[in-house]
């Protein structure tokens, strides 16, 4: 720290604006996320991906469940839905089925997607439903006070395991691959450029896409484990992350302080739910099968 | 002359320091001054080194800073 002034020593061009602003409900700012929380950083990457992919914003919908990350739906200036706990994927599935033209993005946390919503996750992946799932993984249930989540690594101190977590945790990327996802990647909030590129890629990819983003929760995870603040966690990510594209997901388990393997692990073609439905119905019904018509009140 | 510039919305900052740490050319420093919520926002110490790469903007979890290149 040095200077005491907060003056900007030059003129800012009048037409300059933060590229994230057009995508946010700025009247809701400042947001509720804690200082050093990484969720906002993932939102930056998401908006850069929307910009770069030149997606038609009227055809993008964001669906979130409950939790700190669940607030993203409330802040995104897109068609967005803040659903009940764990039900982001079933809601998104309904949205996609009734309006297949939409790019449906599920933006939620690890607690929401893999605990109460875990069953929905594996079945949407199995069906290869055309959804883009972005999971901000802070390794805990943050909004409710830092309890042990299915993702909390062993030995970690949490509100419900004050003497250390002893249950095995989920390896989300391995789970997603085994369940059938077409695209699986993992990054951390330190890897902003790579994360934005992955997010852009899934906009062009058909089928069930999954990106896990490790993100600091200084308030409830790092503090209890004496791991410092948000910035310390970012430096930790920088230090221990290894980019290994195509790595075997079963070998990418997360531990409390060990190596974090990041990269794109799976990018494969599988027929998605719509193709399978169409193929089966045409085979069984022939000419009698008519594609369901999409109708909405405005068209 | 600097290739780019950086703009800071001081009142939105929560002083996390991400922008200061990850600016590749060390344009920023956390100020000792406070904003009205009591956080220390970044301060521009080497404006001439800013490339306008907007990495600070991609890192900032509070949407309080961004960089851009000057139009040619
Ligand atoms: S509790 Fe954790 S995840 Fe939630 S806003 Fe605070 S730092 Fe972020
Ligand atoms: S735009 Fe780039 S060079 Fe300029 S302050 Fe931000 S990170 Fe540093
Ligand atoms: S990254 Fe944003 S919130 Fe953090 S210190 Fe910089 S301007 Fe402030």
Q: Which of A198, A195, A193 is nearest to A214 (CA)?
A: A195
| pLDDT per position as a tens digit, A88-139 | 999 999 999 999 999 999 999 999 999 999 999 999 999 999 999 999 999 9
**What are the helix and strand counts (H, E) for chain B?**
2, 4
A22 against A4, higher pLDDT: A22
Mean pLDDT, rounded, for A62-83: 95
Rounded CA separation A6/A28 (Å): 24
Please return the burial class of A240, using the count of CB atoms within 10 Å of its CB with bins 0-12, 13-18 and 19+: middle
Checking if the pLDDT of A5 tops 80, the result is no
Q: What CATH number is associated with residue A185?
A: 3.40.50.970
Closest CB to B44 among A9, A30, A231:
A9
Mean pLDDT, rounded, for A176-187: 97
Tell me, yes or no, whether A279 lies in a domain. no
Residue of chain A whose alpha carbon sits nearest to that of B62: A40
Q: Give CA separation, B43 vs A6, B3, B16, in Å.
A: 6, 18, 13
What is the per-residue pLDDT for B71?
A: 84
Q: Where are the domains of chain B?
A: 4-69
- With a CB cutoff of 8 Å and minimum separation 6, the contacts of A168 are A154
Ligand lying closest to the C-alpha of residue A222? 1
The residue segments making up the domain with residue A80 are 21-272
- Beta-strand runs (E) in chain A: 60-64, 79-82, 103-109, 132-137, 183-188, 209-214, 241-243, 260-267
Return the ∠ at Cα A172 (arms to A80 and A97), rounded to 5°.
Answer: 40
Ligand lying closest to the C-alpha of residue A230? 1
Answer yes or no: do B58 and A45 touch at CB < 8 A: yes
Q: Mean of the per-residue pLDDT values for chain A? A: 93
CA A17 to chain centre: 26
Checking if the pLDDT of A173 tops 90, the result is yes
Residue of chain A whose alpha carbon sits nearest to that of B65: A18
Tell me, yes or no, whether A291 lies in a domain. no
For B52, other C-beta atoms within 10 Å of its C-beta total: 17
Give the three-class secondary structure for A211: strand
Peptide bond into A30 cis (omega under 30): yes
Q: pLDDT tens track of chain B, all 72 residues? A: 789 999 999 999 999 999 999 999 999 999 999 999 999 999 999 999 999 999 999 999 999 999 999 987
- With a CB cutoff of 8 Å and minimum separation 6, the contacts of A132 are A103, A104, A105, A106, A202, A203, A209, A211
The tokens for A112 are 């929401």
Answer yes or no: do A193 and B39 touch at CB < 8 A: no
Closest CB to A4 among B18, B32, B47:
B32
Tell me, yes or no, whether A256 lies in a domain. yes
Ligand lying closest to the C-alpha of residue B8? 3
Residues of A in contact with B70 (CB under 8 A): 13
Predicted structure pTM score: 0.94
Tell me, yes or no, whether A185 lies in a domain. yes
Q: How many structural domains is chain A composed of?
A: 1
Under the banding of pLDDT at 50, 70 and 90, the label for residue A296 is: low
Checking if the pLDDT of A1 tops 80, the result is no
Tell me, yes or no, whether A243 lies in a domain. yes
What is the per-residue pLDDT for A297?
A: 57
Q: Which of A103, A104, A110, A144 is nearest to A38 (CA)?
A: A110
What is the per-residue pLDDT for A289?
A: 87
What is the per-residue pLDDT for A298?
A: 57
Mean pLDDT, rounded, for A29-34: 94
Chains A, B: CB pairs < 8 Å? 118
Checking if the pLDDT of A155 tops 70, the result is yes
Answer yes or no: do A40 and B62 touch at CB < 8 A: yes
What is the per-residue pLDDT for A4?
A: 53
Residue of chain B whose alpha carbon sits nearest to that of A29: B12
Tell me, yes or no, whether A277 lies in a domain. no
| Selected residues 200-239 of chain A with any CB under 8 Å from a CB in chain B | 229-231, 234-235
| Selected residues 4-33 of chain B with any CB under 8 Å from a CB in chain A | 5, 7-10, 12, 14-18, 21-22, 29-33
Mean pLDDT, rounded, for A47-53: 95
Give the three-class secondary structure for A92: helix
Indicate the CATH number of B4-69 among 3.30.565.10, 3.40.50.300, 3.30.70.20, 3.20.20.10.
Answer: 3.30.70.20
Closest CB to A234 among B18, B47, B62:
B18
- With a CB cutoff of 8 Å and minimum separation 6, the contacts of B25 are B46, B49, B50, B51
The tokens for A256 are 């409390």
In contact, A218 and A34? CB cutoff 8 Å: yes
Tell me, yes or no, whether A5 lies in a domain. no
**Ligand 2 centroid vs A197 CA: distance in angstroms?**
20
A18 touches chain B (CB under 8 A): yes
What is the per-residue pLDDT for A281?
A: 93
For B30, other C-beta atoms within 10 Å of its C-beta total: 20
| pLDDT per position as a tens digit, A226-258 | 999 999 999 999 999 999 999 999 999 999 999
For A10, other C-beta atoms within 10 Å of its C-beta total: 14
Using a 6 Å cutoff on CB, does residue B6 contact ligand 2? yes
Q: Give CA separation, A229 vs A164, A176, A186, A235, A248, in Å.
A: 20, 30, 22, 10, 31
């Amino acid at each position: 720290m040095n200077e005491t002034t907060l003056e900007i020593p030059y003129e800012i061009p009048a037409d300059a604006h933060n590229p994230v602003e057009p995508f946010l409900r700025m009247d809701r700012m400042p947001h509720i996320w804690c200082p050093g929380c990484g969720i906002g950083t993932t939102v930056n990457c998401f908006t850069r991906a929307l910009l770069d992919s030149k997606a038609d914003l009227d055809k993008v919908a964001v669906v979130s469940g409950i939790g700190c990350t669940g607030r993203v739906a409330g802040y995104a200036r897109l068609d967005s839905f803040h659903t009940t706990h764990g039900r982001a994927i079933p809601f998104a599935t309904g949205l996609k089925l009734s309006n297949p033209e939409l790019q449906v993005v599920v933006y939620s946390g690890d607690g929401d997607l893999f605990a109460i919503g875990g069953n929905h996750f594996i079945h949407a992946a199995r069906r290869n439903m055309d959804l883009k799932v972005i999971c901000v993984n802070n390794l805990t249930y943050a909004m409710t006070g830092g309890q042990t989540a299915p993702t909390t690594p062993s030995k970690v101190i949490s509100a419900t395991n004050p003497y250390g977590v002893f249950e095995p945790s989920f390896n989300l990327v391995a789970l997603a691959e085994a369940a059938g996802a077409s695209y699986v990647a993992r990054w951390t909030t330190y890897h902003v450029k790579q994360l934005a590129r992955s997010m852009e890629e899934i906009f062009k990819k058909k089928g069930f896409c999954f990106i896990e983003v490790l993100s600091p929760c200084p308030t409830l995870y790092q503090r209890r484990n004496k791991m410092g603040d948000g910035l310390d966690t970012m430096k930790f990510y920088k230090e221990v992350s290894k980019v290994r594209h195509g790595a075997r997901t079963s070998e990418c388990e997360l531990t409390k302080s060990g190596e974090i393997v990041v990269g794109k692990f799976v990018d494969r073609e599988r027929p998605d739910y719509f193709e399978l439905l169409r193929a089966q119905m045409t085979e069984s019904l022939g000419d009698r099968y008519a594609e369901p018509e999409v109708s909405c009140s405005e068209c | 002359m600097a290739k780019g510039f950086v703009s800071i919305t001081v009142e939105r900052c929560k002083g996390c320091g991400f922008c200061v740490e990850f600016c590749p050319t060390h344009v920023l420093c956390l100020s000792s001054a406070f904003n009205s919520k009591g956080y220390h926002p970044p301060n521009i110490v080497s404006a001439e080194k800013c490339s306008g790469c907007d990495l600070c903007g991609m890192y900032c979890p509070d949407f309080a800073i961004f960089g851009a290149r000057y139009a040619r």
